[in-house]
Amino acid sequence: MLTLHNYWSSVCSQKVRICLAEKGLAFENRHVNLFEFDHWRPEYLKMNPKAVVPALDHDGRIVVESNVILEYLEDCFPQVRLRPEDAYAKTQMRLWLFNSEEIAHENVNTCSYNPRHAARHRAKGHTSDDLKRMAAGCPNPVIRNRLLHRAAFGVTDAEENQAYEALDFLLDNMEQTLGRGPWLAGAEYSLADIAMAPFINRIEVLKRPEMVEAARRPNLAQWWQRIQARPAYQQALAVKNPDTSDPMQR
């Protein structure tokens, strides 16, 4: 029995849902409302003291961190193989799993909080003081300090520009990599493609489609078309927010 504790539009949750769909695995989709801070409650922290989604419950065993969950699903359910067998191809897969966290996640998060594009907290009526009060309740100091910084300064244009500069660097690297093979790990579609796909989607949600346009990055643009055409991707991204009071409904 698989239960995924996750949030509909969280990039790391999307990663895991794509993998589950590719493998044809049924799971219970448990909505963790990030904007009600469900992931900071004691019940959730027992599963993940780092206080982030997603968390996978597999017959009572809890697995956290999206990349770790992806490799775990591969270890347990290899019938649909999503990890190359060749040792060197595995390194390319794992490099992109890591890139998706180190560069894509960090910087897409910054861009997602720029007030021009991300009105979430404000749309909920949260003032800077509300944010500070909430931050005080956050058990993870890395996230707490980031929230406090944003409560005080927001995401500045300089910070957003640096984040896009980092993403551009990563996408240039991706363009080069995809020039050597149709997929990020080479010949085969793998967990690497699954790990990067939600970030490319988010870049489009953030209204920066020029970053993946064919004229600029043809290999990436073709890869992105192939990803979006996959039924597993469509199924995973079709999960919507059950909280209809949330103004962010796309």
Binding site residues, a copy of itself, CB under 8 A: 49-50, 61, 63-65, 67-69, 71-72, 75-76, 87-88, 90-91, 94-95, 98, 101-103, 140-142, 145, 162, 165-166, 168-169, 173, 176
Nearer to a copy of itself, 90 or 230 (CB): 90
CB of residue 145 to a copy of itself, shortest distance in Å: 5
Nearer to a copy of itself, 141 or 209 (CB): 141
Rounded Cα distance between 99 and 102, Å, is 5
Q: Are strands 28-31 and 2-6 parallel, antiparallel or unpaired?
A: parallel
The answer for 233, left when phi > 0, alpha when psi is -120 to 50, beta otherwise, is alpha
CB of residue 159 to a copy of itself, shortest distance in Å: 10
Nearer to a copy of itself, 8 or 40 (CB): 40
3-class SS letters over 179-198: HHCCECCECCCCHHHHHHHH
Q: Which two tokens stand for residue 45?
A: 């922290």
Helix (H, G, I), strand (E, B) or coil at 55: strand
CB of residue 87 to a copy of itself, shortest distance in Å: 4
Nearer to a copy of itself, 155 or 237 (CB): 155
Rounded Cα distance between 12 and 10, Å, is 6
The answer for 125, left when phi > 0, alpha when psi is -120 to 50, beta otherwise, is left
Could you list the beta-strand ranges (E) of the chain: 2-6, 28-31, 55-58, 61-64
Nearer to a copy of itself, 41 or 120 (CB): 41
CB of residue 109 to a copy of itself, shortest distance in Å: 13
CB of residue 138 to a copy of itself, shortest distance in Å: 11
CB of residue 162 to a copy of itself, shortest distance in Å: 5
Nearer to a copy of itself, 61 or 207 (CB): 61
Nearer to a copy of itself, 175 or 228 (CB): 175
CB of residue 230 to a copy of itself, shortest distance in Å: 25
How far, CA to CA in Å, does 1 sit from each of 28, 59, 66, 71, 214? Answer: 8, 5, 18, 18, 42
Peptide bond just before 209 cis, omega within 30 deg: no
